[in-house]
A and B are shown apart, each in its own frame.
Chain A
Amino acid sequence: MPTSSIPFVPMVTDLSLSGLLWWALLGVTVIFAAHAAVASYHWLIYGSDRITSLLSIAIYVGVGAFLLLAMLATLALM
Chain B
Amino acid sequence: MLFERIKLEDDEQILRIVRKHWWIIFTNVTGSVLLTLLPLVILVLADAFVSSVAIWEQFITPYVHEFVFGYLLWILVNWMIIANYWTDQYLDLWAVTNRRVVSIDQKGFFNRLISSFRLERLQDMNVTVSGIIPTLLNFGTIEAQTASSNSEDEFRAKQMPDPRGLKALIIRAADERQRSVSAVEALKQDGTL
Contacts and interface: CB of A to CB of B under 8 A. Distances in A.
Contact of A47 (B66, B69, B73, B91): B91
Nearest to A77: B65
Nearest to B4: A45
Chain B contact residues, majority secondary structure: helix
Contact of B69 (A42, A48, A56, A71): A71
B72 interface: yes
A6 interface: no
Interface in A22-78: 24-25, 28, 32, 35, 38-39, 42-50, 52-53, 56, 60, 63-64, 67-68, 70-71, 74-75, 77-78
B66 A21 contact: yes
B91 A24 contact: no
Contacts, number: 77
Contacts of A74: 65, 68-69, 72
Contacts of B17: 48
Given A24-B73, A46-B5, A39 B109 contact: yes
Contacts of A68: 76
Contacts of A28: 73, 76
A49 B4 CA distance: 12
**For chain A, which range describes its interface: under 10, 10 to 19, 20 to 34, or 35 or more residues?**
20 to 34
A contact face: mostly helix, strand, loop, or mixed: helix
B106 interface: yes
B80 A38 contact: no
Contacts of A1: none
A17 interface: yes
Contacts of A32: 76, 80
Interface centre among A44, A48, A64 (most CB of B within 10 A): A48
Contacts of B109: 38-39, 42
Given A42-B109, A43-B90, A48-B2, 8 more contacts: A25-B69, A39-B83, A45-B1, A46-B5, A47-B2, A48-B1, A56-B90, A67-B79
